[in-house]
A and B are shown apart, each in its own frame.
Chain A
Amino acid sequence: MAVETTSRPARVDADAEGGARVHRRGTGRKSGETGRLRRAAAHHWYAWAMVAPVVVVIGVIIGYPLVRGVYLSLTDADEANVERTIGVNHLPATYRFTGLDNYAEILGDSVFWDRLGWTVVWTAGCVGVTFALGLTLAVMLNRQVRGRSFYRIGMIVPWGIPAFVSVFAWKMLFNEKNGLLNKVLDGGGIDAVPWLGDPVWAKVAVIAVNVWLGVPFMIVAMLGALQGIPGELYEAAEMDGAGPWQRFRNITLPGVRGVSSTVVLLSTIWTFNMFPVIYLLTRGGPEDSTEILVTYAFRLSFINSPRDFATSAAWGVLILVLLSLFTVVYRRALRRQGEVW
């Protein structure tokens, strides 16, 4: 998708501009056109110079690897046959082109579908709970309440701490034998819960941690949205005798819809690709039960031995396809609801 545009936006639009001008003025002479192009370049060169570094960085680090990733996914590249240097010996690549074999193998195997199922549950669960909590807390914070800025800052704190640090903190709390959570439960007479050792509890645990990490962003975004709703609407509704729930449904929810749709899309994509929480908390275990697509693709090429670059690349391409599909469908659904986006 992005392949086409990353490396050549300037060229594409130089053409477009030439075309547009020809169309407007109705002149088709070649020399005049190059002259105009040159003038356009003279006129726009500083704008291009300003964006050039970004275009180069994106082209080199995203465009090129993307193309190569797609190519690798069509080969049988692994640790043993890629180009590499051992000591002073430089070994050339010996992997072969295998067409769609990798994809056939992945899609024909239940591992992919299992991981996909859990990834969907994980994403929907995290985004749903995070959104509900974030909106609730933002509504509460948006009222005249004493100590409001204290609450607000307190709740945003998790956002300011690097995610991997927070995950370690949670890992400590979740510790089965000695963790604080189980000790508290023990004090209440409840048996220890194998938070990270049991497939079901591990799933609950990773979702809980990710929600904890994601709520602050949601609160901030939703607070911004709530503050954009004019107070008169609420007053008018109250005059008309609307109850709190009616006001929430008919004013608040429509009022935050614009921001929510963007935020939900963003957090869906982020959660779908959320690597550190699962990798650091459970390493995908126990027995692959918490492994999402992204962590599995990572495991194929960086943890398993021998490293299977081709299959991992194919997983990556499939993930990208899924995300693109989701984005397209989501945007279409929004547009049908009349959302200009």
Chain B
Amino acid sequence: MTATKTIPVPGRRGGRGPLAAFGLHAGLLAATAVALFPPLWLLVTSFKPKSESFSTALVNDFTLDNYTHVVADTYFLTWLGNSLVVVVGTTLIGVFIAATTGYAISRFRFPGMRPLMWVLLVTQMFPMAVLIVPLYNTMASLGLLNQPVGLIITYLTVAVPFCAWMMKGFFDTVPVDIDESGRVDGLTPFGTFWRLVLPLARPGLAVTGFYTFVTAWAEVAYATAFMTGEENLTLAGGLQTFVNRYGSDWGSMTAAAVIVAVPAAVVFGFAQRHLVAGLTAGATKS
């Protein structure tokens, strides 16, 4: 971060002097290095024996011990399973209801639309601190603590408002003619939505799916509060147990972190282009 401050930014727009070009590349390189280094170091450390977690060297004795230990001897797979149930549930339900909502506010002028859009915006700024205590007590009385269902419902409220906005942006880019021709051919509004428009908005579905996935995959506060007992934790809670005040197992932590980060990074890699379009179409223009 410090390096980027020293960049002599503006060169001339057409040709720029060699010094300016050097500065530009140096700055961009430094920023990229700062961005990439922590996750890369995590990856490197995960291949070192436990005793060398903190050595500054790159890998001396390459080993997969950390991975086998994490997978075989800890609750990691259970946490992964819990996380997957929560994430898949949230993503499927979330994308579906965000899509129907986005379609409705993109295509129909119906009573209640404006307040709904307003509520969708406002809920995005809700601090979890206001809701977490009453939600906790409600979940407790419904017996939903330590149940994936409880987390799924909670995450829906986090992800859906934003996703509905993004989906609206995507549906706005699908020509209305398509809806009209569907109606002329005798499809119901739901039929038009399901058979014609939804397939065309597939990139939007990918983006909202990704966003929901990441939200649920990476949430910490609710997951920490609602899930207790080692076998009930999700990954966000489980990883904390490797490095806590009683001891630090950095080897296991890094291996687990890599296994957690890779799927998210891969999904992100596919989605990022659309994500950018979605953000600019939906959220920032709202």
Contacts and interface: CB of A to CB of B under 8 A. Distances in A.
A51 B221 contact: no
B105 A69 contact: no
A147 B220 CA distance: 36
Contacts, number: 326
B41 A57 contact: no
A57 B156 contact: yes
B84 interface: no
A34 B72 CA distance: 66
Contact of B42 (A47, A54, A172, A208): A172
A313 B12 contact: no
A168 interface: yes
Contacts of A193: none
A58 B243 contact: no
A296 B260 CA distance: 28
Contact of A317 (B53, B101, B130): B130
A40 B111 contact: yes
Contacts of A17: 111
Contacts of B160: 54, 57-58
19 contacts: A14-B112, A16-B111, A54-B116, A54-B120, A61-B157, A65-B134, A139-B9, A150-B32, A151-B28, A158-B38, A162-B236, A168-B257, A169-B41, A172-B53, A173-B41, A175-B54, A244-B11, A279-B221, A301-B225
Interface of A: 1-2, 5-6, 9-10, 12-14, 16-17, 40, 44, 46-48, 50-51, 53-55, 57-58, 60-62, 64-66, 68-69, 72, 82-84, 133, 136-137, 139-141, 143, 145-147, 150-151, 153-166, 168-173, 175, 178-180, 183-184, 208, 211-212, 215-216, 220-221, 223-224, 234, 238, 244-245, 247-248, 259, 262-263, 266, 269, 272-273, 275-276, 279-280, 293-294, 297-298, 301-302, 309, 312-313, 315-317, 319-320, 323, 327
Interface of B: 1, 4, 7, 9-13, 24-25, 27-29, 31-32, 34-36, 38-39, 41-42, 45, 53-54, 56, 97-98, 100-101, 103-105, 108, 110-116, 118-120, 122-138, 140-141, 153-154, 156-157, 160-161, 164, 188-190, 193, 214, 217-218, 220-221, 224-225, 236, 239-240, 243, 250, 253-254, 257, 260-261, 264-265, 267-269, 272, 275-276, 279-280, 283-284, 286
